[in-house]
Structure 1
């Protein structure tokens, strides 16, 4: 199955309102020179904690909202985004038979 999700991105230096109330989001932690991590997060963002390895860096949150029909493929989208951005910290996303076009 091939999916082509519509992503809406927002950037912020800290998690604050209205972002903390969002659910089912993609989170990219980055600075101008490097991407640190790509996360798929299904709970409210107020519960999100960045990986401890990035605490020594200064970074920005890039928060992505996926269109409603593709929310169920959030982990697959995160995996495709991770392959494209090549972050320092990689996650394992189990995604079979689904191809994501970004």
Structure 2
């Protein structure tokens, strides 16, 4: 299966995640600081329940939120893995993986 995802997302600060974007589901998060990607993660539940990794607790960062269409939700981990390979973050996410046969095309 071929999956196309745009790399550009909405830039938000952590306070906005608890507010207006609280009920957003099925998104990929790129955690950035000063324009440099630090970490890539995915959220399959409500975005308000997301907690950043403990090693980012002392850093000032913001999120880039990439929404995934409903038909691609079963491949959320695969898409997040490919986004991670594209942006080359400082910290790798070990829980991202893909066992399905899917080709992910990331548009810049």
**What TM-score does the superposition give when structure 2 sets the normalisation length?**
0.83
> Is the CA contact (8 Å cut-off) linking 1:13 and 1:59 kept in structure 2?
yes
Q: Which moved more, 1:65-74 or 1:6-15?
A: 6-15
Aligned partner of 2:98 in structure 1 is 95
Match of 1:21 in 2: 23
Secondary structure of 2:76 counterpart: helix
Question: Structure 2: where are the runs of 5+ without partners?
Answer: none
Measured on the aligned residues, the alpha-carbon RMSD in Å equals 1.7
Unaligned runs of 5+ in 1: none
Runs in 1 of length 4+ with deviation above 4 angstroms? none
Distance apart, 1:72 and its partner CA: 1.6
Q: Distance in 1 between matches of 2:35 and 2:90?
A: 12
Moved more, 69-78 or 13-22: 13-22
Q: TM-score, normalised by structure 1?
A: 0.87
| Most deviating of 32-41 and 71-80 | 32-41
Quick one: distance in 2 between partners of 1:65 and 1:51?
A: 20
